[in-house]
Amino acid sequence: MIATQTKPEFLTEALIEVLNNEWKVNAIESSNSFYHRLEMEIGRKYIKVWETVEKLIGPGQPSVNNTSRSCWMFVDKNTGECYKPASYKAPAKGVRYLITQLADNPHICDPYGSFLYL
């Protein structure tokens, strides 16, 4: 953990790393040519988690990033509350999870964000 990182930032980064590894391995094992990849962007109030679909080229070759990306989840920087996105700019109302719950149980998360619906 970097000294300037908050706990929600650290847990979001850890969750993203676990999910990216899991989804890439699942895609390789099931012979899929595409997999979902997450990345985070820290804003003024929220941590935005973006999802992109990447194509696997082959063994030993780097993956190719597709240009489309969508907002996957919002995390409050201070409290660690997770929200479903209403748009790519703002979260929907109502807390869905705490980042500590998702970091402890990454199997809850799916590539499509359906776990964030009520």
2 within a domain of the structure (yes/no): no
Residues 6+ away with beta carbon under 8 Å from 55: 33, 34, 63, 64, 66
Task: Establish if 1 belongs to a structural domain.
Answer: no
What percentage of the chain has pLDDT greater than the value 70? 89
Q: Residue 13 phi/psi, 5° resolution? A: -65, -40
In-domain check, residue 86:
yes
In this prediction, residue 60 carries a pLDDT of 60
Q: Per the domain annotation, does 63 fall within a domain?
A: yes
Task: State the pTM of this model.
Answer: 0.88
Count the domains in the chain.
Answer: 1
pLDDT per position as a tens digit, 49-58: 999 998 877 6
Q: Which is it for the CA torsion 111, 41, 71, 76, positive or negative?
A: positive
Print the domain residue range for 17: 7-116
> 53 in a domain, yes or no?
yes
